[in-house]
Amino acid sequence: MVKEKSVSEKKKIKVAVGLSGGVDSAVAAALLKKQGYEVIGVHLFCYDEGPYCTAPEDRKMAVRVAAHLKIPILVWDLHRQYRSKVIRYFFDEYKAGRTPNPDVVCNREIKFGIFMEKALRDLKVDHVATGHYARIKEDKDGFHLLRGVDESKDQSYFLYQLSQKQLEQIMFPIGGYTKKEVREIAQEINLPNKTRPDSQGICFIGPVPVAKFLRERLPAKSGPVVDSKGEIIGEHDGVWFFTEGQRHGFRLFKTTGLPLYVIGKDVKKNILTVGRGGEARVRQFEIEKPHWIGKLGDIKNVRIRHLGEILSAKLTGLKVTLKEPIFGVAPGQSAVFYGSTGSPRVAEEVLGGGVIREVNIL
């Protein structure tokens, strides 16, 4: 059954909902309409290249959802801005030997950048809403960004660059629901996309394998694979196609008997360094471009990838020290810090984060 939210005092509030064509944003719009808000759907057209792109189907479905819910819908063409702010960043970072997170940048620049600003300014709405699995709580200290209730769908990692001002005007209607419950609501109100599979892949692009996407734009360039002692033991097709912690894709002249992982890249010399399991572990790394959402709480936890384990850590200045070493920490990734809200759930609140600048291999 649809969960009721008490919003009797907000009957005339206007909300622009980003309708992607997927079931999550559709249910978000449906919940807001049921609660009495004046809902306007906005579909963002950002990318339409390649066989993996689902933009045409997404747009048609968003229009069908809006018709089903009897709400107006607008289609905004942001493909030029998406290309300059997200696609260019994606390839520039890989070319520089770093591992970017395009979804973090997409949320900052497109969804809660251009879309939010344009909706508030041109549509005169009071809030914008999306189908993110995250929550917002307000108290005497301001607004707090919390993880979504569904641990398997939580998207708070991508949202760490939001500000207090933005959180005041953002709504995440499905953040308190599980995916199963969202699907049940879609079935209950017979949404046209109720059985549509979840979207996969890069933000707005679709389920394209990253390696394939990179090889379409970046040139192959043969170079040596060396071990931690500098001895050449194999070859590769270009350091920009690899990320720290990766154990496939390079070619070895002879087998070592143990798996080898990427532990370093020299972009200028096109040298890929690999090491055994113990050599690939990281206990410390430094961040840059830190962003904090509100008052800093007690930082004891960090996450270095979407839906990755929330790790025990200590932040000193811009240096992060992990309680236990881990694999796969790469420059360019986002390190997102979590704190406790006093809830039974550990590390529930997103405090902020930064971009990993340098990694110290054990």
* pLDDT tens string 151-191: 999 999 999 999 999 999 999 999 999 999 999 999 999 99
Q: How far apart are the C-alpha atoms of 119 and 16, rounded to whole Å?
A: 7
Instruction: Judge whether 106 counts as a catalytic residue.
Output: yes
Chain-centroid distance of CA 280 in Å reads 25
282 pairs with which residues across the strands? 326, 361
What b/e string do you get for 313-342 counting C-beta neighbours within 10 Å, with b at 16 or more? Answer: bebeeeebebeeebebbbbbbbbbbbbebe
Q: Assess whether pLDDT exceeds 80 at residue 341.
A: no
How many of the other CB atoms lie within 10 Å of CB of 256? 12
3-state secondary structure of 350: strand
For the chain, domains (ranges, CATH) are: 11-131+173-210 (3.40.50.620), 219-279 (2.30.30.280), 281-361 (2.40.30.10)
Question: Which residue among 42, 119, 203, 355 is the active-site one?
Answer: 203
Mean pLDDT in residue range 16-20: 97
Instruction: Please give the pLDDT value at position 335.
Output: 98
Instruction: Judge whether 203 counts as a catalytic residue.
Output: yes
Element (H, E) at 40: strand 38-45
pTM of the complete model: 0.91
How many of the other CB atoms lie within 10 Å of CB of 85? 20
Question: Which residue among 16, 66, 106, 293 is the active-site one?
Answer: 106
Q: Assess whether pLDDT exceeds 80 at residue 136.
A: yes
Element (H, E) at 264: strand 261-266
| Cβ contact 140:47 at 8 Å | no
